[in-house]
Structure 1
Amino acid sequence: MKRKATAVWNGSGKEGNGNLTTQSTVLQKTQYSFNSRFAEGVGTNPEELIAAAHAGCFTMKLSFVLGDAGFTPEQLSTDCLITFENGVITESHLVLTAKVPGISVEKFNECTTDAKLNCPISILLNTSITLDASLV
């Protein structure tokens, strides 16, 4: 499987602007700029997209890990906070709230650790990955 995205940039780094388009067209010439990346401007930015990718990948991987362990999650909800400092992503922090009927805390922790270490985006990222997981 291969997936494609395209970035187009016009102008200088600070005054210019660009757009992002994904193969699925979920992003279709979606705006990004210096202000959307480093301030609070309108549009997306690479770090926000990495956060979405990591949250989505981890959550789906956890669903598979739980299934392999004999559990069907009722709901998994993951926030991801990417820390970008001095031009480097220094951390990806995952915060999970999960409702998984019948699972013990020990088994839940085992499954979340497996998903954190083995989801494809975790493997791709060369940074500290932390996880706060709550079973409700």
Structure 2
Amino acid sequence: MPIRTSSARWSGNLTEGSGTIRTGKGGFEGNYSFKSRFEEGEGTNPEELIAAAHSGCFSMAFSKGLADAGHIPTSVETTAKVHLDKTDAGMTITRIDLESVGDVPGIDDADFQKIAQGAKENCPISRLLSPGAEITLTARLA
């Protein structure tokens, strides 16, 4: 399997500095800063990138699970909301809320929910993050 890489460059101190984050093959490059991470400033931040990775991974795992069960999805759209909170240990990702909508012809809600839970538990990003953060899931049929 390939090894995936990304890089970041930061210049200056924590609160006044700025940086760029770039994915290995150049598919994404974004600016980030203290304000974009801890306030509401322009740019991206590591937590948004974790949310993007988690929503993408979950959507693919859910689509595979649906197809394996004989229900080819027309689409799966997922949003991940990463909660960064101050704890006794410092700034910590405490929770990730996955919200997914699937357009899946011919499936009943019980099977849909079961497959969604399996995807939540087994996508590689969920497996990476679940020991340290609570992961919630709301899944609904379109």
TM over 0.5, shorter chain: yes
C-alpha distance in 1, partners of 2:28/2:72?
Answer: 31
Which deviates further from its counterpart, 112-121 or 34-43? 34-43
1:27 Cα deviation from its structure 2 partner:
2.0
- Who is 2:16 aligned against? 15
Q: Are 1:118 and 2:122 an aligned pair?
A: yes
How many angstroms does 1:127 deviate by? 0.7
1:131 aligns to what? 137
Distance 1:49 1:38 in 2: 14
Using the alignment, how far apart are the partners of 1:134 and 1:94 within structure 2?
11
Percent identity, aligned pairs only, is: 45
TM-score by length of structure 2 reads: 0.92
Instruction: Indicate whether 1:71 and 2:75 are aligned.
Output: no
C-alpha distance in 2 between matches for 1:106 and 1:36: 40
Say yes or no: does 1:4 pair with 2:5: yes
Matched residue type, 2:19: G
After TM superposition, the structure 1 = structure 2 runs for residues 85-100 of structure 1, keeping only pairs within 5 Å, are 85-86=85-86, 87-100=91-104
Alignment-mate amino acid for residue 130 of structure 1: T
1:56 and 1:129 mapped to 2: Cα distance?
Answer: 15
CA deviation vs aligned residue, 1:15-72 (integer Å, no higher than 9, x gap): 11111111120223x2110011011211100011111111110001000111111110
In 1, distance between residues paired with 2:98 and 2:66?
Answer: 17
What TM-score, normalized by structure 1, do the two folds share? 0.96
Mapping of residues 37-48 of structure 1, within 5 Å: 37-48=37-48
Q: CA deviation at 1:110?
A: 1.0
After TM superposition, where is structure 1 displaced by more than 3 Å over at least 4 residues in a row?
A: none
Q: Which runs of 5+ in 2 are unaligned?
A: none
Gaps of 5+ in 1: none
Map of 1:84 onto structure 2: 84
Deviation, 1:98, is 1.1
Aligned partner of 2:8: which letter?
A
Q: 1:5, 1:101 → 2: CA distance? A: 37
Q: CA-atom RMSD, angstroms?
A: 0.9
Name the CA distance, whole Å, in 1 between partners of 2:95 and 2:78: 16
In the alignment of these two chains, the number of paired residues is 135
